[in-house]
Structure 1
Amino acid sequence: MNDEKGQLSGEYMLLVGSLIVVLMISIFMIANENELNIAMAAAKSGVDEGVASSSSAIYPKETFNEYDDMEGLKHPYSVSIVNVSYNSSGIDENYGKQKIQFKVYAKASADYNKKELDSIGDRINYNLRKSVAMSFNTEDSTNKLYNPVFSNNYVFTTANVVWV
């Protein structure tokens, strides 16, 4: 009879130990997914901000002057976002972090030439990267174009906007 009393506490310790290990692994995985969720939410917010600032045709003076040959961008226009996605490109050799590349799919209301679409896309991508940098408080760790953007475990870049 006395031998059976020690068996229950041993099994209990094994169960509690196993649960602690599973919990620790789960927390690590959830933290990484949370970081990606924060980045994606910030990216979508930045894209919306980029579309709003770009399509309203309100630019800094230097940018407005650069648009002399792009008359279509000097007037308000409509851009709708079709999709914002990301893919993982493995570990970045320069930074030792996992590289994530955002890609924006958009549609313009009017016919623009390639140079104009590239300009609109650059503004959208700039605001996307800026928003991600601000969400992770890493504005000081990147350049003035926010390319690339860093978080604890990831380095973020953007692909050219795909016009559909």
Structure 2
Amino acid sequence: MMSKVTEVVEELVTPILTENGLELVEVEYVKEGKSWFLRIYIDKDNGVDIEECGMVSEKLSEKLDELDPIPHNYFLEVSSPGAERPLKKDKDFQKAVGKNVYIKTYEPIDGEKAFEGTLTAFDGDTVTVEVTIKTRKKTIEIPFEKIASARLAVAFS
């Protein structure tokens, strides 16, 4: 049910975003407590503002009212993914080369399952991250299919 909802919503919101020069980052349909939330995360190169989020929310809401793909009440939220935006698609990783990232893997690589460092390369199959362990820099190659989750990471210096 949840994946069906996210698929339908993705189909509905994509033309709205394309028409307005925006990009879909993620669709989330989750239950928190007794309430359901439909969250749409959007972005563009120089970030999105509240007016763009409002416009997408309004247009998507009209489409959802027409089709009514969700059988119960829910809250619709449209927002920017924020500074720690998730990395999901190939193009997300390509755009993140040179940036600080946080990656979790399904299984340990060099004895670790979590890595934070600079994404130095992505070739479609392997993500290369330079991490600092104490004072030494180390390059870790992570097979793309072993990534459980990845996001940009805010670096504190």
TM-score tier (shorter): 0.3 to 0.5
**Larger helix percent:** 1
- Greater length-normalized contact order (CA 8 Å, ≥ 6 residues apart): 1
Higher strand share: 2
Of the two, which has the highest radius of gyration?
1
Q: TM-score, structure 1 length as denominator?
A: 0.41
